[in-house]
Amino acid sequence: MARFILQRLMAALVTIWIATIAVTILIHLVPGDPVRIMYGSFQTTPEELEAIRVRLGLDQPIWRQYLMYLGRLLHGDFGNSIVGDQPVIDILMTRFPSTLALTLSSLFIAVVVGMSLGFLAAYKRGTWVDVSAMVLAIVGVSMPHFWLGLLLLFLFALQLQWLPVAGGDWRSLILPALTLGLANAAVLARLTRSAMIDIFDQDFVRTAHAKGLPKSIVLYRHALRSGLVPVVSMLGLQFAYLMGGAIVVENVFAWNGVGRLAIEAVFARDYPLIQGFILFFAIIVALASVVIDVAYAFLDPRIRYS
Amino acid sequence: MTTTHQTGPILSVRDLTVSFGRGAGRNIAVQDLSYDLLPGETLAIVGESGSGKSVSSMALLGLLPPRSANVESGTAMFQDKDLLSLPDAQLRGLRGDRITMIFQEPMTSLTPVLRIGRQLTEALIEHKGMGQADANARAREMLALVGLDEVDRRMRQFPHELSGGMRQRVMIAMAMAADPAILIADEPTTALDVTVQAQILDLMRDLQSRFGTSIILITHDMGVVAEMADRVVVMNRGRKVEEGPVADIFSNPQDHYTRKLLDAVPRLGAYATAAAPRSVVDKPTPVGKSLVHTEGMNKTFHEGGWFWKKGGGTAAMQDVGFDLNAAETLAIVGESGSGKSTTGRAVLRLLELDSGTVIVDGMDVRGYGKAGLRQARRQMQMIFQDPFASLNPRISAGRLVAEPMVIHGLASGGELQDRVEELFRRVGLEADHIRRFPHEFSGGQRQRLSIARALSVNPKLIVADEPTSALDVSVQAQVLELMLELQQSLGLAYLFISHDMAVVEEMAHRVAVMRRGRIVEIGPRKAVLNDPQHAYTRALLAAVPVPDPDRTRGTLPVIDAGTLPMGALAEVAPDHLVAQ
């Protein structure tokens, strides 16, 4: 098991490493002179621009720029933001807890709602329960985050006035978490349904029935645990979607997380901050997939022991 | 355990009718089936696919899919209760306790995410009210009884850590742990290798005499029936066509269908005196000069590592070599994992060898470039075990057969159509089958289609990988007959891969026996089958069930896997080579 975790961690490191290369190249993909793009809007003289270029190392060949960048990263230095000239890592870390709260509660909602709905639909395959659950799921999958968010805002915050439109406390977390969670619940529901339909037809489920076990034991101990394996393996990807969705949802609900920060950085053309954000995002997603993989291995002994 | 019906039947099924679907799509699977099961006896329910033999037994336990299957009428009296009208909860109480079941597929019949111990004990805890400790003790006792070693470790293992034979032993332990009155065994050995099958059958007999269980044995294999059954019910298309003591069924079958079924069963020894397969055409093409020559073939499958191959790996073929002449059949026999399929694929270069020589029709197959290989594939074609999986379901039968000719530019337009029609007739299909799609054919017809497709490019060599293993015996007999006829009139050479010794005896001129990637014995059919020199060949032949209740198979020879000679081949008689 330790070897397995080590392997997954290595894979995550490779992913992050590739992200660092992408981030370095990114700034050179934008047409024109990066320094001019970043600082050109300020009142800067050509001499000042040249000084910035030297300070950022942008006068060096790209491979050296990359090595310098990597060296700084290894010291935990993500560079400084243009706006405010603060360390990027500090800015990210102050805003990240809000995003973490949002994504984790959305994930919780997605798992609970999505898996139950999918399981129920599979169990009641072909009945009206199945059909309505899947219609709901299609609606959920098709509806863009911002639209669902606005609908929920309108209903619960404006019409019913049960929940605040925005703010910082836990009550204002409910609507964005629901928005993000329900959309992902729809994806999970479809996945769980097809996985469970597969499982219900398996020989070992028939064996469990033939043993005269109560239905609840057949369903939960034998079927659900096996059916969860493919679903959990998809959770890693789901988490990445969730993080992406957080950028939109945080803006709709004025939730002060890194997603909102990213949009601010884009509008301000704050390249170091954008770079930092992308890399940070990559690290979070890579680490999340390690966690998911380990959970996956824990569920499926065939992976655990190979 | 005493029953109130010491002399009467323990189970009485009357007029059982089961259908699938409703309305116009209603399909009768079992019709008016009646039989009695006596205490301590083994009743075999025999039939081909679609005969209703499994459905009738699943219906007894309420295991049919509730939405599609209906038990339309009938009773099944067990201990004064009618199983068919019993409330769900009460039936569940009997299921897995008084009546238990084992299934065909040991590989998939155990829950992959639960430990063996858990799966063995849960029914005991549920039905007998045992505590976990008592149930564990009983489970360990049963594991030892079914012949597994290291029972404490087995209890903690997961199914994927056990072989197919071991898993079936676990299934049997699970089914017998509750000391059931009735055991329903649905094709319990069909998915197993022949030597493992023999062990499992011995085990079932042993446990039956120990526990006094009545067994309903569902099977298509007349060899297994002859070996196990006291009485036999023969089913065809949902109806019982004949019932009687096993000796009578075999020696004096009354029904036409039973006779046909028994005639179709390949019997090892039926062609023991012949030096070549029987002639089915007037002037069979004589065996010609060398067509295939292979030597020193090696192939090791490596598990994919991260950046490099992992060390070790499984040696699928080690130093394999043989010759095959035109119009001749070399059969490669062996159990799963012996490397026989790998060998067939290597000859066609469907996989790349690590080393070795493959010469087909004077040309080095391993030396071909891409274009040359395509050209060479005209000479050699393949037929697979599962004709459905190997035919593209979205392409019509006619196009499937035409495709190889189009690819090789052999015919087009009207000529192509004529040729397709001719091929369909050649393999015993009708011209109006041409427009149909693979799913509209039966298993036997699909295999004929595969053969037509292989024949379309006029090959000299056909590699047939278990071509009849998925077919019912009566259909198997027809396909084998067709293959013989094609060989003798067209001069085809067959590399015939099979696990079935009786089929091999019917088809082969020469036989090669493979074990763990090596040929351990090779020679003319009479030499290898009648006078086997290698201990493994002898064990393989001894394990074949004999479809004759008067001739018992005798005890299995004990072979010690560690000491079997697996070295280089040496000649013991002309052309008869045995591993030393």
Mean per-residue pLDDT pooled into runs of 10, chain A (306 residues)? 83 90 79 70 74 77 84 85 84 90 91 92 89 88 81 81 72 85 89 91 92 92 88 82 87 86 85 88 89 83 68
Terminal Cα distance for chain A, rounded: 9
Q: Answer yes or no: do B419 and B535 share one domain.
A: no
Residue B7, SS3 per DSSP: coil
User: Is residue B347 assigned to a domain?
Assistant: yes
- Locate all alpha helices (DSSP H) within B429-519, ordered by sequence: 443-455, 473-490, 501-507
CATH code where residue B242 lies: 3.40.50.300
Compare all CA atoms of chain B with the CA of A203 and give the residue at the minimum distance: B109
Q: Is the pLDDT of residue B310 over 80?
A: no
State residue A275's pLDDT score.
86
Instruction: Name the residue among A208, A212, A302 with its Cβ closest to that of B127.
Output: A212
Q: Answer yes or no: do B49 and B90 share one domain.
A: yes
> For the residues B316-344, what does the mean pLDDT come to?
92
Confidence of residue B2 (pLDDT cuts 50, 70, 90): very low
At A281, list the tokens: 């995002």
Q: Chain B residues with CB inside 8 Å of A204's CB?
A: 108-112
Write the DSSP symbol of residue B466.
S
Q: Answer yes or no: do B473 and B511 share one domain.
A: yes
State residue B318's pLDDT score.
92
User: Which residue has tokens 């035919």?
Assistant: B391
Please judge whether A204 and B96 are an interchain contact, meaning their C-beta atoms are less than 8 angstroms apart. no
User: Which residue has tokens 């004589």?
Assistant: B286
Percent of chain B exceeding pLDDT 90 equals 54
Domain boundary residue among B458, B476, B507?
Answer: B458
Query: B109-156 pLDDT, tens per residue?
Result: 999 999 999 999 999 999 999 999 999 999 999 999 888 888 999 999
User: Is residue A237 assigned to a domain?
Assistant: yes
Please judge whether B123 and A202 are an interchain contact, meaning their C-beta atoms are less than 8 angstroms apart. no
Give me Rg for the CA atoms of chain A: 24
* Residues of A at the B interface, defined by Cβ within 8 angstroms: 7, 126, 202-204, 206-214, 217, 221-222, 225-226, 229, 299-302, 305
Determine the Cα–Cα distance for residues B376 and B368; give it in Å rounded to an integer.
Answer: 8
Confidence of residue B12 (pLDDT cuts 50, 70, 90): very high
Reduced 3-state DSSP string for chain A: CHHHHHHHHHHHHHHHHHHHHHHHHHHHHCCCCHHHHHHCCCCCCHHHHHHHHHHHCCCCCHHHHHHHHHHHHHCCCCCECCCCCCEHHHHHHHHHHHHHHHHHHHHHHHHHHHHHHHHHHHHCCCCHHHHHHHHHHHHHHHCCHHHHHHHHHHHHHHHCCCCCCCCCCCHHHHHHHHHHHHHHHHHHHHHHHHHHHHHHCCHHHHHHHHCCCCHHHHHHHHHHHHHHHHHHHHHHHHHHHHHHHHHHHHHHCCCCCHHHHHHHHHHCCCHHHHHHHHHHHHHHHHHHHHHHHHHHHHHCHHHHCC
State residue B4's pLDDT score.
44
Asked whether B213 and B180 are in contact (CB, 8 A), the reply is: yes
At B188, list the tokens: 């319990």
Min CA distance, B159 vs chain A (Å)? 9
Instruction: Name the residue among A207, A221, A226 with its Cβ closest to that of B109.
Output: A207
Q: Answer yes or no: do B394 and B374 share one domain.
A: no
Residue B550, SS3 per DSSP: coil
Q: Answer yes or no: do B195 and B237 share one domain.
A: yes
Q: Answer yes or no: do B199 and B284 share one domain.
A: no
State residue B315's pLDDT score.
83
CATH code where residue A211 lies: 1.10.3720.10
The closest of B195, B288, B266, B267 to B509, measured between CA atoms, is: B288
Q: Answer yes or no: do B447 and B339 share one domain.
A: no
The residue among A196, A204, A215, A220 with the most chain B CBs within 10 A of its CB, best to mutate, is: A204
State residue B13's pLDDT score.
95
Burial degree of B158 (CB within 10 A; 0-12, 13-18, 19+): buried
Q: Strands of B42-46's sheet, edge to edge?
A: B99-102, B182-186, B214-219, B42-46, B231-236, B239-245
Determine the Cα–Cα distance for residues A133 and A216; give it in Å rounded to an integer.
Answer: 21
Q: What are phi and psi for residue A34, nearest 5 degrees?
A: -55, -40
Angle between helices A88-123 and A128-142 (to 10 degrees): 160
Q: Strands of B27-37's sheet, edge to edge?
A: B27-37, B11-20, B69-78, B81-82
Q: Among A297-306, B7-16, B318-327, where is mean pLDDT lowest?
A: A297-306
CA atoms within 13 Å, Cβ hemisphere of B252: 4
User: Which residue has tokens 């597994």?
Assistant: B148
User: Please, what's the b/e burial string for A98-134 (b: 16 or more CB within 10 A of its CB; e: otherwise)?
Assistant: bbebbbebbbebbbebbbebbbbbbbeeeeeebeebb
Q: Which residues contact B205 (CB under 8 A, 6 or more apart)?
A: B228
Asked whether B494 and B483 are in contact (CB, 8 A), the reply is: yes
Q: pLDDT averaged over chain B?
A: 89
Determine the Cα–Cα distance for residues B464 and A203; give it in Å rounded to an integer.
Answer: 30
Give me Rg for the CA atoms of chain B: 26
Compare all CA atoms of chain A with the CA of B68 and give the residue at the minimum distance: A126
State residue A305's pLDDT score.
58
Compare all CA atoms of chain A with the CA of B125 and give the residue at the minimum distance: A213
User: Which residue has tokens 């052309």?
Assistant: B575
Q: Answer yes or no: do B99 and B39 share one domain.
A: yes
Domain of residue A148 covers 95-270
Determine the Cα–Cα distance for residues B62 and A23; give it in Å rounded to an integer.
Answer: 61
Determine the Cα–Cα distance for residues B125 and A6; give it in Å rounded to an integer.
Answer: 40
Query: B551-571 pLDDT, tens per residue?
Result: 766 677 777 777 888 888 888
Compare all CA atoms of chain A with the CA of B186 and give the residue at the minimum distance: A207
User: Is residue B163 assigned to a domain?
Assistant: no
User: Is residue B6 assigned to a domain?
Assistant: no
Determine the Cα–Cα distance for residues B253 and B250; give it in Å rounded to an integer.
Answer: 6
Domain count, chain A: 1
CA atoms within 13 Å, Cβ hemisphere of B467: 35
Q: Chain A residues with CB inside 8 Å of B110's CB?
A: 204, 207
Asked whether A185 and A109 are in contact (CB, 8 A), the reply is: yes
Please judge whether A217 and B101 are an interchain contact, meaning their C-beta atoms are less than 8 angstroms apart. no
Q: Answer yes or no: do B454 and B466 share one domain.
A: no
Determine the Cα–Cα distance for residues B61 and B66; give it in Å rounded to an integer.
Answer: 12
Residue B303, SS3 per DSSP: coil
Domain of residue B398 covers 389-458
Instruction: Name the residue among B97, B111, B174 with its Cβ closest to that of A226.
Output: B111
Determine the Cα–Cα distance for residues B495 and B331; give it in Å rounded to an integer.
Answer: 6
Please judge whether B112 and A226 are an interchain contact, meaning their C-beta atoms are less than 8 angstroms apart. yes
The residue among A9, A123, A203, A211 with the most chain B CBs within 10 A of its CB, best to mutate, is: A211
Asked whether A145 and A183 are in contact (CB, 8 A), the reply is: yes
User: Is residue A116 assigned to a domain?
Assistant: yes
Q: Between the CA atoms of B33, B38, B41 and B45, what dihedral angle is there, to the nearest 10 degrees?
A: 0
At B395, list the tokens: 């392409």
Largest CA distance in chain B: 76
Write the DSSP symbol of residue B509.
S
At B97, list the tokens: 């306790």
Q: Answer yes or no: do B365 and B293 share one domain.
A: yes
Instruction: Name the residue among A126, A213, A221 with its Cβ closest to that of B123.
Output: A213
At A4, list the tokens: 């397995």
Asked whether B391 and B450 are in contact (CB, 8 A), the reply is: yes
Compare all CA atoms of chain A with the CA of B91 and give the residue at the minimum distance: A212
CA atoms within 13 Å, Cβ hemisphere of A152: 27
Q: Answer yes or no: do B396 and B535 share one domain.
A: no
Domain count, chain B: 3
State residue B5's pLDDT score.
44
Q: Answer yes or no: do B22 and B101 share one domain.
A: yes
Determine the Cα–Cα distance for residues A94 and A280; give it in Å rounded to an integer.
Answer: 13
User: Is residue A88 assigned to a domain?
Assistant: no
Q: Among B240-244, B255-259, B303-307, where is mean pLDDT lowest?
A: B303-307
Min CA distance, A279 vs chain B (Å)? 25
Count of other CB atoms within 10 angstroms of residue B257: 19
Q: Chain B residues with CB inside 8 Å of A229's CB?
A: 113
Min CA distance, A62 vs chain B (Å)? 28
Please judge whether B126 and A229 are an interchain contact, meaning their C-beta atoms are less than 8 angstroms apart. no
Confidence of residue B3 (pLDDT cuts 50, 70, 90): very low
Q: Chain B residues with CB inside 8 Å of A211's CB?
A: 95-96, 100, 122-123, 126, 174
User: Is residue A197 assigned to a domain?
Assistant: yes
Please judge whether A212 and B122 are an interchain contact, meaning their C-beta atoms are less than 8 angstroms apart. no
Q: Which residues contact B440 (CB under 8 A, 6 or more apart)?
A: none
Determine the Cα–Cα distance for residues B123 and B362; give it in Å rounded to an integer.
Answer: 63
Q: Chain A residues with CB inside 8 Å of B113's CB?
A: 225-226, 229, 299-301
Strand pairing of B42-46 and B27-37?
unpaired
Percent of chain A exceeding pLDDT 90 equals 17
